[in-house]
Structure 1
Amino acid sequence: MLLTSNQREKFFKYAYLETMAIIGSYIGVGYLINPKDILMLDSEFSFVTILLAIVTLFHGMSSGVFALVLLGTTMKLGYEEFNYMYFLRESVLMLIFGEFHYYWTRTIKQHAIEDKFTRQKLSELSKAFYMLKISHDQIEKSYVVKPMSIRNSILTIKEKFDIDNPEIFYQEFLMLLQKTLNIERAFLLSVEDEESMTMMAQTDKDEIFYKDDLIVQDAMIKKKPIYISSDDLYNGSRYLAAIPVVMEDRLIGLFIISKMPFMSFNKDNLISATILISYMFDELYKLRILNHIDDFLYRFQDNFRFEVYRLYNLNQKFKIESTILIFKSYDKVKTHMLHELVGSNLRSLDLMSYLTTENFDAVAILFPLADRSSVKGFVNRIYNNMHIDSSTLDIEQSSFSISELDTIKLYLECQ
């Protein structure tokens, strides 16, 4: 309204102050035009309705009520007779505007959260794809000398992760980077805020880290990789490159390269280092969450459990729906068919997991940001491809909202 879009976000907490300024300006203009009709109630056009609509639709019902109190007080003091019918009519309109603001704001927020989740998943899939590419390139270059791929090396390091002693994880990962990218000296740091950084691993224990170095400071401020050849400004730095790790627009880590052979210090290796570091911190975040939710759907695979946990939190906070579809099979052959058909029919964001018990096998599919009605077509495709119908005794299926985790647990316990 009175402020630009950027200023509105910055000063949104001053909604009442802005409302008071608007109403005060309106009253002042009305007094100059006609002191006997300050709010211009007798005009053919209802200016008060427009005023309440603007304030309530922008700031919400609380500001609308505040505006109505100011207008009501002015009507009481500035007019001989208080117009109750006019005031009640404007009150009803304000309530309608306020309800519309509530639902509209909630819808926008839900779409923003869904978009954020989709972009986050896209980023994770992109990193995983690039990790696969780096890993295959590494195998092609030195298969005989180093037969283990980077991804397998990371998986091996992950298996050794200890929540109470993560320094070993960081140190082994730094050694992997050192061997893969031919880095001689480097630091790996965890960042809480600009003033609080923790040294998690370093190649040379005697080397001192200078956090006030220009490359380090610029990497933290800009939240993007900085290296000496990118600008003459950094040629006086102690370090060759500073690579920040950013999660949800928050700086969580830093990888500093202080010494590296000239032939290895190239764009491809810097990009590889950026992807590897980001991937490592993502995996570390998942490991910490999985350690925290140890008994959460514990019979399913870790990736599935993590995504369910993340979407469950979105549902609890913002009422964003996701669906879990579970097939229970009492026939091993049909379980095998289910597993193959489900895997070939998944969308990019869908995720599958399975478990085996003494009495049945279960295949679970997670449909992010989708309600239960949207999975019916998927179920029909699976049954049609298997040439069976939903009444078969060997397979049963049920879909659950992401909020029904207790029901899912009971369903899986039923024999």
Structure 2
Amino acid sequence: MATESAHKDFVLAPRASGQVSWIETILLSVVVIALGYWLSPADPLLVYGTFPWLILAPLLLAVRYGFMRGLISALILVAALFAYRASGLGLYAELPASFVVGVMISTMLIGEFRDIWERRVERLDLANEYRQLRLDEFTRAHYILRISHDRLEKRVAGNDQSLRSSLLGLRAKMRDLPRGEAAISVLSESILTLLAQYGSFRVASLHKVNADHSVVLEPLSSMGEVRPMPADDLLVRQCLKQGQLVSVREELMERGENRKFSQYQVCVPLKDTEDRIVALLAVEQMPFFAFTQRVLSLLMILCGHIADLLQTDQQTLQLADMDAQDFSKQLKRSLNDAVEHDLEAHMFAIEASPGEHRDALLRLVEDSRRGLDVQLRVDNERGNPCVLVLLPLTSADGGQGYLTRLNGIIHERFGLDQSFESLGINIREFDISGQGGRESLRRFLFNECAINDQQVAI
């Protein structure tokens, strides 16, 4: 067995190899023949004794070195037998055929048996070495994963901002802007920092886009050592023409050929729900591990929400409750996110029947609004007041959490024995996903909730 194997080698003496093993085979065979002649000159091979002890030499060599060397040792014994017979040794005048056949067959069987097991052990050694190699690779990969996980934990622990909270913070900054100032100019640095947080890019710039879809070459804000934007950059032209995120192919980046077409790797338009492009994000350097469909889709979603905020007028931002125009805009944005990026949103229609607690219940629902939630209070065609609650970037499970929280508030206010039904509250919900689309949302609002198109525009 190989000494470098992971298994323990249990042989009493290390085996020789090559010429040394052949010398050992011939020398041992000659020594036992000489020893037999010294012990019994009349029967030097001990053929007619109680046991032919000299056959142990080829048997041991067959066990130690395998078939070939054992066979050579057996042939030496048989050759010695014929030599003694030819020299006139009377005891061997009649050829002992059983001795010759027995020595040859037993030696070949033991040698072949030994070779078979050596091949099996070699295969096991190879399999074990492969497993050891894979284990070493797995150990290194696990160690790297542990380090990456620890770094990610530290990064997440140091950054408590989610997508919803980031957009909410940007909305708060816009609300504090002085009247008459362009939000895109004042908040360009904050917007670029927010986008870099989710895109992980190192060198990028944010450019204003005019109403005629011409880009201002001078950046509003930049990070890293950005180069001047060319007036005819191919990626910028395609981005403005299509109104969608445009990036170079990954294989071009791997070969370093992307510079032939554009100095940028990614261009993202800040486009609102009315297809108006407010600004353009041009990324020059982005880590390859971040250059994935998931990250690029997240950038497109975030840029769309930021564009909606930038296009919202100051009076709407100052309102405590969102009006129908803002609600419709946010609803369109959530629908676009669901259709184009498979990003869910959830909506509730809370209708209050006539009763003594109706006004208090509606105020309770309106006061339960969270940061990015959008509400609109209207009277439906059944004559009942209705509060439409839109939960952007929220799945169906998140919607159920909102209902659970609202139910807990009602229990605190009106008692544990009260429920939505007992208080005359009828709740309808709709999951905004990419499957139903715009027509399903229209049927929900106009048919089930009895809302008309003058109250909510889809």
With normalisation by structure 2, the TM-score equals 0.38
With normalisation by structure 1, the TM-score equals 0.41
Instruction: Please say which structure displays the higher CA radius of gyration.
Output: 2
